[in-house]
Amino acid sequence: MRNIIRDLFNFYFLAACWLVTLPLIVTGKGAHFVTCGSVLKLQNSDINVRLHSHDVKYGTGSGQQSVTGTDVQEDVNSYWLIKAQTKSNCIRGEPVRCGSVIRLMHLATNKNLHSHYFSSPLSTNQEVSAYGNNGEGDSGDHWTVVCDGESWERDEAIMLKHVDTDMYLAVTSQTYGRPINGQHEIVGVQWPGSNQVHWKAMEGLFIHPSDFNFKKRSHDHTEL
């Protein structure tokens, strides 16, 4: 019953976010790039699962909130907010440049995508978790966007390289049992060549400054 109530809350929260940001959402021109402040799902293009988290802790390693890959497209626990690195700002709607450092905050729990020198539960690669309070954690939340060209394009598969440990965000073919039965293990790997390290922007709210007037809507011009 608690899970049903939580899912309903998440659904209505996302619906409210949609209504609030509707004037900022691109509907045609400007839809080319992933931008700061966008809320999106990331799909691994090698295994076709979406980056996911939930209020379930790892039973080993750090004991922090687990991060997994799910093949359920509609799950609201797969939304992530793009933010600048700690103590930095990025203008909402500004394209994310290739080589820039970002944080990805899990929308439902306000914890950041995180990694560190713990072994992952199934494959003993590097553990990836969700960490922090109210969107604030530490340098282990920082990821470099690895892509070709100038900025992250929405139809382009990118890689995410962990700043502190130089590991790439990846998914393994191994899956968990209960209570997250069938969900894939998400890890950090050292070598991207032979691993599932490619991620593509899928469903979400993509915000672009060209779709509204800054002078008339100055209250919408915020930094994250």
For the stretch 164-189, pLDDT in tens is: 999 999 999 999 999 999 999 999 99
- Domain boundaries in the chain? 2-210
Decide if 196 contacts 187 (C-beta within 8 A): no
CATH number, span 2-210? 2.80.10.50
**Distance in angstroms (rounded) separating the CA atoms of residues 62 and 99:** 28
Q: For 118-152, what is each residue's pLDDT tens digit?
A: 999 999 999 999 999 999 999 999 999 999 999 99
**Distance in angstroms (rounded) separating the CA atoms of residues 208 and 206:** 7
**Distance in angstroms (rounded) separating the CA atoms of residues 221 and 218:** 5
Higher-pLDDT residue of 135 and 105 is 105
Of 116, 19, 133, nearest in space to 62 by CA: 116
Q: pTM for this one? A: 0.82
**Distance in angstroms (rounded) separating the CA atoms of residues 223 and 134:** 16
- pLDDT category, 207, cuts 50, 70, 90? confident
User: Going by C-beta distance under 8 Å and a sequence separation of 6 or more, which residues neighbour residue 152?
Assistant: 33, 34, 95, 96, 97, 98, 145, 158, 201
pLDDT of amino acid 22:
40
Half-sphere exposure of 14 (CA within 13 A, CB side): 24
